[in-house]
Structure 1
Amino acid sequence: MGYTKEEIIRIVEEEEIEFIRMQFVDIFGQLKNVAITASQIEKAVNNQIMFDGSSIEGFTRINESDQCLYPDLNSFAIFPWRPAQGKVARLICDVYNPDGTPFVGDPRGVLRRVLKRCQDMGFDTFNIGPELEFFLFETDEQGRATTRTRDEAGYFDLGPLDHGESTRREVCMNLEAMGFEIEASHHECANGQHEIDFRYVDAMDGADKIMTLKLAVKTLAQKNGLHATFMPKPIFGVAGSGMHLNMSLFKNGKNVFYDEGSPRQLSKTAYAFIAGLLEHARGFTALTNPLVNSYKRLSAGYEAPRYRSWSASNRSTLIRIPAVRGQSTRVELRSPDPSCNPYLAVAACLAAGLDGIARGLTPPPEVTDNVYDMDESDRIAKNIDALPETLEEALRELEQDELMMDVLGEHVAQHYLRGKMKEWKEYQTRVSSWEVEKYLVTY
């Protein structure tokens, strides 16, 4: 729904909204906000709310710290989980410099630049449909997160086995009150694991909705005495959490991935897009899978895609083409996980696909066999290589991919690589529980 400045000011007054959260995202995908009272709403919608950018990792230095929040008026929404008295609303914002120029380190700006490139190539809309998985865990007596769950449900099970069902239902109802169209929600295969999918929307709105969904899940879980986590692999020996990303491209209102007369009913544009994704998959993995822990999910099986390959139906491949065709034809990338910064991840995927289209790339042959059952010689024979196995390897691949570095821009690329390499080095120095169990007594 579109709003004008005047409408937002009127709604704040009529609904007796007391606080407005001016939300933005740092380069590592953490949601930030500046909270203002209702008396400041006129300043807010006129781009006059400022904050200290030097306090946000990867933003600005102390001597150039002032930055401005430019709210996306269409993002205005009231948080339905807040009480009727003392209502709280939010506005999702772009970050600007005091001179009125966009801040180069704003993740929304990174995605906006790639969407402009998409339009310059003649495409109207890039749609995404993400599938977010997460765990609901119990908390201890002090309210701290654990990895315990009394949940005994499995894939698609329902109560009474699914003890998180009521929280998941509450999340869906609250999100629909905020304008989401929830297509599906269900229990996943691991104890305590859940998935919520919303209807595809344009890329910017989709990235915004990913951040809102994560906030809603965490907030409502906490309200119900649970802890929600989007950590990719919180427990050894069970499935990790992914964020499969469905993508489609439109021109003159028509899905350009669909070609009724071709084999598999996929167009040359679709094949080129797939080829671009495969070409840059190793380069963008540090963005779609940004944590040390992300690689525990990718390397552990449980249908997590590890090898660069594609198929029209095979779920062991990195890229799958779901069965529906026509306006719903889409490319599903199965490697991303929900810890990613959605603006950077979506920008990287779109840029990779557009590169495939611009260069007229052709993907390798479709893989119909189970990739997990192949031995190394089979994969080599079929020219199937693996995604990076560690965050460090992924960061090296990102640094060597000129397109991905260009997508991020010098500022974001520099701070992202530096921050994530610091994370990797910190991980290397820590002593894990596995090491203690393996070596403490033996040696």
Structure 2
Amino acid sequence: MRPLHLIVASVTGASFGINAVKYAVPALLALAGSSASQIGVFAASVTAAWPVLGLFAGLLLDRSSKLGVLRLGEIIAAASLLFLVALYATSALALALLCVAGFAIGAAEVLVDTSSQSILPEIVAKRELRSANSLLNGAKTVGVTLLAPVLIAALVDIEPLSALAVAALVLVAAFAAILRLKGQAAQTSAALRFSDLTSGLVFLARTPVFPGLTLVLAVMSIAWGGWFVLIVSYVISDTGLGLNATAYGSVVTMLGLGSLTGAFAYGFLQRTLGTRPVLMLDVLGTILFHAVPASGLGFIPSAAAAYLAGIGGVTWVISVSAYQQATVPGAMLGRLVASYRWIGWSAFFTGSVIAGPLADNLGFSGAFTTFALLNVVLLIAFPFVIPKSQILDEPLAT
């Protein structure tokens, strides 16, 4: 089995287990009658790992084994799942304890996500980076946002413990896959120096294109963080659509189906439209999947909007990841990726924090509308933030 395929299998399995927790716990809270603000507290505990640990993860990747960091993330994810199983088995599902597990699962996501992006240039040639990123993101889409939401949500409706057990089994399989990879992407470099912690941010700020990409990511991430908090309450609560956890999982699965479509169609879209218009698809999708539920159009239109948002989301990830991997020196790549995601996912944390209070005070329509309008402003500003002279296609052709 090729190293790329082992990486893809392991990262997909690990991401499935991590996101199973992110789907299961909010659904359990919503079914128990928790408010949007309470669900937002748990979501914030997960995303808080990015502002707290994101920069350190990048430094760790550039100063140690990328493969070792990936394995560490999977171990932390497994330990977090075991802790949640213990909480459920002892009926100790207090919000504070759930947030402890949430932060740990978020830390695992930081390590798995940053290492998976940094490791690809060490196992594939530059000309294969777009196809490798398409494969990785397509596989993650199938596991994380296509199968996991509907499967985990359906199991939550039947027996929550079975949902956590399935996630744990998939994590074990993911770790077994990565253990088969020996001697690949496991080189060590200079000693760990905390004085280098902000060097990725400095590099990002001084390099053309990256500041604009990071700003756009941050604004969109506020809306995405808000959507994942709002959608579970909107679908399940009596003040929203009044459906069940399976319906919530189905909406997120439509997001994943869109991502899968985007992963397979990426080559065609990039060749036909060019990279900058492809990047704008994500902004348009972000507006749409807030505007539709804000309009009160119901379950099916909301699911369709999530599908279109999924197409935009994955095309953004593939474009930016390939550009980063092709243009950033290997010794700096981990810190650059971590800095980019640290800013973007810290904004995701912001969206998670403010979504609940917005819904409690403005209602679901007002909360969704707020996030949609934020990204309308971003769409208007997009040509100025990422001007036409900054073509993202060129570095991959050299």
TM category, shorter: under 0.3
TM-score with structure 1 setting the length: 0.25
TM-score with structure 2 setting the length: 0.27
| Higher-strand-fraction structure | 1
Larger relative contact order (CA 8 Å, sep ≥ 6): 2
